[in-house]
């Protein structure tokens, strides 16, 4: 065992507490956490080192490169890095999802949690949007708040995690933003409707003020209904979310970024609704294609008893006239993913993380 020094030992104790803590006895119904500024901050480098110690018997993390997408547009402010990721709920990974080529050993929370944290710490997002979070109160909020993030969680009303024995509470969407870079102006927890009925899917939308520029923008995170046969349902949920966001952004006067697992290929109606919305949205990851018009070939790749599933379901939408995409993180190649697909000893989720760097358009009047 390596000697870690005083500060690392203290941090390791913090990390192991989050690793070993069981289900939270009382999960709050959603919402924003009390001010965590009184807690001791964590050095992200130290936390990364602790995670890497836990993971030392696993293969090294996959390497991915950012692709420069800026078109010689000078910016007078630091880019805003946004990360979108369905991290795979622990209860679903172990109890429901049946990843037939993934050893159960690879899904152990004590190590998989460190793989998730390692990915987040490696890319250092200013804003982090997560889906399928079922360890919010015992892991992500305690650690990320001490890393300088303001944290919000909105669980599904009837989370499938609760059907799994020894679950850790409901899963839901979580949104984290850097307190150093942004101020919260307003926050809305949205339970999505379809055909005027409340559904089990949710979204969080927050209007933030950029401390550096004084500009306002809205960031939203969502996770739409899964599975084949629910296309019309997803379409209705998407329409409801768009209506809410039109109101929040005053009809697109406030720039908008929407992150989500839409559970929908680009051929689905809900994708077309976002593409054709009056909010004037574009999908950031289309910009990686040669013509700037095609989505990636996959954002999730897994093997279930029914066969191999390779789909494009995850997106970062943005106000294309108000915001520029400076760069985007390239996806894992088929060779990196390997024949057993995801999740694996190398990668903690069946979905790939998406990361983009945004800057404000330098002409604030040219929003639409």
| Count helices and strands in the chain by DSSP H and E runs | 8, 15
On the question of a cis peptide bond just before residue 194, with omega within 30 degrees of 0, the verdict is: no
Strand partners, 209: 183, 216
In the block, tokens 């046969």 appear at: 229
In this predicted model, what pLDDT tens digit does every residue of 183-211 receive, in sequence order? 999 999 999 999 899 999 999 999 999 99
Encode pLDDT of 75-119 as tens digits: 788 999 999 999 999 999 998 888 999 999 999 999 999 999 999
Domain spanning 80-363: CATH superfamily: Endonuclease/exonuclease/phosphatase (3.60.10.10)
Mean pLDDT of 347-362: 96
Return the H-helix or E-strand segment holding 300.
strand 300-304
Give all strands (DSSP E) within the chain, no chain letters.
Answer: 66-68, 80-86, 127-133, 149-155, 172-178, 182-194, 197-210, 216-223, 256-261, 281-283, 300-304, 307-311, 314-319, 323-329, 354-360
pTM: 0.91
Cβ-count burial of 24 within 10 angstroms (0-12 exposed, 13-18 middle, 19+ buried)? middle
Q: What is the pLDDT of residues 13-72, one digit of tens each?
A: 567 666 554 444 444 444 445 555 567 899 999 999 999 999 999 999 889 999 999 876
Sorted by where each begins, the domain ranges of the chain are 80-363
């Amino acid at each position: 065992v390596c000697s870690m020094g005083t500060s690392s030992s203290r941090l390791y104790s913090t990390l192991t507490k989050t690793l070993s803590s069981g289900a939270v006895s009382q999960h709050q119904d959603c919402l924003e956490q009390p001010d965590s500024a009184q807690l001791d901050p964590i050095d992200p480098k130290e936390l990364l080192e602790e995670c890497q110690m836990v993971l030392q018997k696993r293969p090294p993390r996959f390497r991915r490169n950012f692709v420069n997408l800026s078109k010689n547009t000078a910016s007078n402010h630091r880019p805003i890095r946004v990360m979108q990721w369905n991290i795979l709920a622990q209860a679903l990974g172990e109890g429901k999802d049946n990843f037939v080529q993934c050893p159960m050993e690879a899904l152990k929370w004590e190590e998989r949690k460190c793989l998730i944290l390692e990915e987040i710490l490696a890319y250092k997002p200013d804003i982090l949007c997560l889906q399928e979070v079922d360890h919010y109160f015992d892991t992500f909020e305690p650690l990320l708040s001490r890393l300088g993030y303001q944290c919000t969680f909105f669980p599904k009303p009837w989370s499938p995690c609760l059907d799994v024995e020894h679950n850790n509470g409901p899963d839901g969407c979580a949104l984290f933003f850097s307190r150093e870079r942004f101020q919260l102006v307003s926050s809305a927890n949205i339970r999505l409707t379809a055909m005027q009925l409340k559904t089990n899917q949710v979204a969080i939308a927050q209007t933030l003020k950029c401390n550096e520029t004084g500009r306002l923008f809205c960031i939203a995170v969502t996770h739409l209904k899964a599975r084949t046969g629910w296309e019309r349902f997803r379409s209705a949920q998407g329409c409801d979310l768009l209506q809410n966001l039109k109101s929040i952004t005053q009809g697109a006067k406030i720039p908008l970024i929407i992150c989500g697992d839409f559970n929908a290929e680009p051929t689905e109606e809900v994708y077309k609704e976002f593409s054709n919305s009056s909010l004037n949205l574009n999908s950031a990851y289309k910009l990686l294609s040669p013509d700037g018009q095609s989505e990636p070939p996959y954002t999730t790749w897994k093997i279930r008893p029914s066969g191999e599933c390779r789909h494009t379901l995850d997106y970062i939408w943005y106000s294309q006239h108000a915001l520029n995409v400076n760069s985007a993180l390239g996806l894992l190649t088929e060779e990196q993913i390997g024949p057993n697909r995801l999740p694996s000893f190398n990668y903690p989720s069946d979905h790939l993380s998406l990361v983009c760097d945004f800057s404000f358009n330098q002409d604030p009047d040219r929003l639409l």
